[in-house]
């Protein structure tokens, strides 16, 4: 296990380095003269030269890269050229909206998806199974934007049929008033959670269906469980490692939806910051922000892998490279 963690950590570091190179290459080498782009189309050559000087853009690419990485390692993400604010401070402030939204959405998706997936799998014959299947198919096919809009039309305060939740904005003072902050995240989290929950349900169901006829379930039934109960307990425990992996992956898959929903509900999260910065071509800032986010998601991936190992005792003693047993089980 320790060997696996060490190995996986080493891979994590390699991946970070590769990613930083990729981000750097995309943002420096592709767009041509960075300073000219940042200074705007109708700026004087003097202004461009001054900006280049200020940002150190007239140095060689390797020098720039190592400067940037060095700063990153010291926790210095630079300041925005346009607003003069510290990137780190702004990212942290925005993340306080986005991260809770992601976590709430993920929790909702688990709370919705797993029980319904179990129900669908234990009623393999009969109408309920097909009904749940079509519901999850449709809910999973809804664009996040549209889902959010429909929820606003139903629950949005001032707009909706039963206007009980705010549909715009986040409290000025942020989490210092937790109740109103939470309430303003209710509809956004619901939009994200329902769509992601539909996928979670489909996955749970198909994973459970895969072992529903297996000896494990028969054995649990022989010990005194009904089929439904055997699937709910033994079945769920057996597919748990796979569910953990899928949850980790859906973390990454949810993000597009989360950013869309943030914009739709005018939440001051990472989405509006990223979109604005990309639009403004505030390159140095974008570069650091994207790197930070990428590192965050890589970390989630790392944690997911470790959790998968912990949940599956068969994998604990095995080296990092052989993931084969898990695939055999899911197949």
Q: Which among 50, 261, 259, 56 is positioned nearest to 151, based on CA atoms?
A: 261
CB of 104 to another protein, least distance (A): 18
With residues binned 3-state (H G I as helix, E B as strand, rest as coil), the percentages for the chain, rounded to 5, are 75, 0, 20
Q: What is the DSSP letter of 176?
A: G
**CB 322 within 8 Å of CB 9:** no
Residue 123 in tokens: 């009623």
What is the chain's alpha carbon radius of gyration, rounded to the nearest angstrom? 24
The structure tokens 């139903």 sit at 154
CA distance 291 to 297: 10
Residue 173 Cβ, how far from another protein at the closest point, in Å?
26
Q: How far is the CB of 234 from another protein (least distance, A)?
A: 6
Residue 87, helix vs strand vs coil? helix
- Spell out the residues 6+ positions from residue 31 whose beta carbon is closer than 8 angstroms to its own: 37, 281, 283
Closest CB 244 distance from another protein, rounded Å:
12
Q: Helices 283-311 and 87-122: crossing angle, nearest 10°?
A: 40
Alpha-carbon distance values, 310 to 2, 35, 189, 304 (Å): 11, 49, 29, 10
C-beta closer to another protein: residue 63 or 275: 275
Smallest separation (angstroms) from another protein to the CB of 196: 12
Distance CA 134, CA 115 (A): 16
Least Å distance between CB 178 and another protein?
A: 27
Residue with tokens 């995309």: 26
Nearest distance in Å: CB 265, another protein: 11
Q: Which is nearer to another protein, 182 or 294 (CB)?
A: 294
Q: Which residues contact 51 (CB under 8 A, 6 or more apart)?
A: 35, 38, 39, 57, 81
* Residue 167: CB minimum distance to another protein, A: 8
* Min separation Cβ 176 and another protein, Å: 29
Write the Ramachandran bin of 125: left for phi over 0, alpha for psi from -120 to 50, otherwise beta: beta
Quote the CA–CA distance of 246 and 199 in Å, as a whole number.
Answer: 10
Q: How many angstroms separate the CA atoms of 61 and 199, rounded?
A: 43
């Amino acid at each position: 296990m320790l060997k696996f963690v060490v190995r996986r950590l080493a891979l994590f570091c390699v991946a970070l380095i590769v990613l930083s190179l990729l981000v750097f290459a995309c943002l420096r080498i592709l767009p041509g003269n960075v300073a000219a782009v940042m200074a705007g189309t109708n700026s004087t050559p003097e202004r461009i030269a001054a900006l280049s000087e200020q940002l150190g853009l007239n140095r060689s690419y390797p020098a720039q890269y190592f400067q940037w990485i060095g700063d990153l390692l010291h926790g210095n993400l630079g300041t925005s050229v346009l607003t003069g604010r510290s990137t780190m401070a702004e990212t942290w402030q925005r993340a306080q909206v986005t991260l809770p939204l992601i976590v709430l959405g993920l929790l909702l998706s688990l709370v919705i998806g797993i029980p319904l997936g179990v129900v669908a799998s234990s009623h393999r014959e009969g109408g309920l199974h097909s009904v749940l299947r079509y519901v999850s198919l449709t809910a999973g096919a809804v664009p996040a934007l549209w889902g959010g809009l429909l929820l606003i039309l139903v629950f949005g305060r001032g707009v909706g049929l039963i206007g009980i939740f705010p549909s715009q904005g986040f409290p000025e003072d942020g989490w210092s008033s937790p109740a109103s902050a939470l309430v303003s995240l209710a509809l956004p989290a619901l939009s994200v959670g329902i769509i992601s929950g539909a996928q979670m349900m489909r996955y749970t169901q198909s994973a459970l269906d895969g072992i529903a006829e297996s000896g494990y379930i028969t054995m649990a039934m022989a010990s005194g469980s009904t089929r439904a109960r055997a699937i709910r307990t033994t079945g769920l425990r057996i597919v748990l490692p796979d569910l953990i992996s899928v949850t980790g992956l859906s973390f990454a898959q949810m993000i597009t939806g989360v950013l869309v929903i943030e914009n739709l509900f005018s939440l001051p999260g990472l989405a509006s910051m990223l979109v604005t910065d990309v639009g403004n071509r505030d390159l140095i800032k974008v570069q650091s922000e994207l790197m930070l986010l990428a590192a965050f998601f890589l970390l989630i991936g790392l944690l997911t892998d470790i959790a998968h190992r912990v949940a599956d005792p068969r994998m604990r003693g095995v080296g990092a490279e052989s993931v084969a047993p898990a695939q055999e089980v899911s197949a």
